[in-house]
Amino acid sequence: MARPISNPPNPWLSTHVEWLGEPPAVALQVFEEEARSLLTANDSPDIPFRWSANPYRGCYHGCAYCYARPSHQYLDWGAGTDFERKLVVKVNAPQLLERELLRRTWTGEVIHFSGNTDCYQPLEASYALTRRCLEVCLAHRNPATVVTKGRLICRDVELLAELAQVAGATVNISVPFANEAISHALEPYAPAPAQRLATIARLAAAGIPTGVMVAPIIPGLNDREIPAILTAARDAGATSAAMTLLRLPAEVLPVFRERLEATLPEKAVKVWNGLRELRDGRLNDPRFGARMRGTGPRWQAITDLFALHCRRLGLWSPSLPATRGPAQTDLFSLLEPSR
């Protein structure tokens, strides 16, 4: 059972908090829980990893398009602001991971962090659960992957670099937008694109295999930014790249629609028309094998554009057989599955 965290004001506190931008409209509530398990087995053909670990439920970044929003409904909360501001912390996550890795049946498969919500969202600064889980992976020499928008991952550069050396570790940074204004509109509490590119540079400089996720592709909004994002990421040190099409499950669609039409009303019609063009007249396709990619000439043009610039820049991607990555990159990268 998740329990709320509450602290009275500290009269001796000598510092105060200043928001970078406007403060959130909904107050943050943090809940702690003793989870029963941490590792989740995935059998979807759309997901290129089997085991994922999520130390947190919900995500402070508030990305309007986040496919994980419906998972909050299992807690009897909503997929909208509840997902962004009612955050659950699995305080025993490192102990659970240790227990799982000590099982006789565990074979040392790759563990992916952030399969559902960002493991380096701001709460990680206080709880350090992701760091402690990575320390468990290092102790057991178990390979890991991370996908994040969070600048906080730079705190753990030395740890990730060591894990990459002894077991295998890769990081993929999500950079769906080059335009900061559009990023802020749809990812209001995530680091700016320039900060994420700086994160790629920091990780790559430490010798950690690092990729860029141009995801989700939102037609009429960021499909034309693919060359700029890939070029900037390569210049920062990325060696691989991936992309997926926007997914709008039933509970995500109204959140995305409200945010898009409130913050970018002049682009909304192009987005809806573009999605219908890529989805055979629909806004979403929930079928396995189809939900992360589109169909038709326009989708082919998008994938050709992505492929062209990956090859031009020397970025590896599993869906591009003509490219080749470092020895272990293909084992640990979180990239779009091959067709």
How is the chain split into domains, by residue range? 29-332
Q: Does the N-terminal peptide bond of residue 254 adopt cis geometry, omega within 30 degrees of 0? A: no
Task: Tell me the pTM.
Answer: 0.88
Looking at residue 22, its pLDDT comes to 59
pLDDT for 81-101, tens place per residue?
Answer: 999 999 999 999 999 999 999
**Do the Cβ atoms of 212 and 238 come closer than 8 Å?**
yes
Average confidence score pLDDT of the chain: 88
* pLDDT exceeds cutoff 60 at 50: yes
**Does the domain made of 29-332 have the CATH classification 3.80.30.30?**
yes
* H or E stretch covering 95: helix 93-101
CA dist., res. 63 & res. 162, Å (int): 31
Looking at residue 161, its pLDDT comes to 98
**CA-based max dimension of the chain:** 63
Looking at residue 106, its pLDDT comes to 94
- Which residues, other chains included, contact 317 with Cβ-Cβ below 8 Å and sequence gap of 6+? 240, 241, 242, 306, 307, 310, 323, 335, 336
pLDDT for 182-232, tens place per residue?
Answer: 999 999 999 999 999 999 999 999 999 999 999 999 999 999 999 999 999
Could you tell me which of 232, 175, 230, 238 has the C-alpha nearest to residue 205? 238
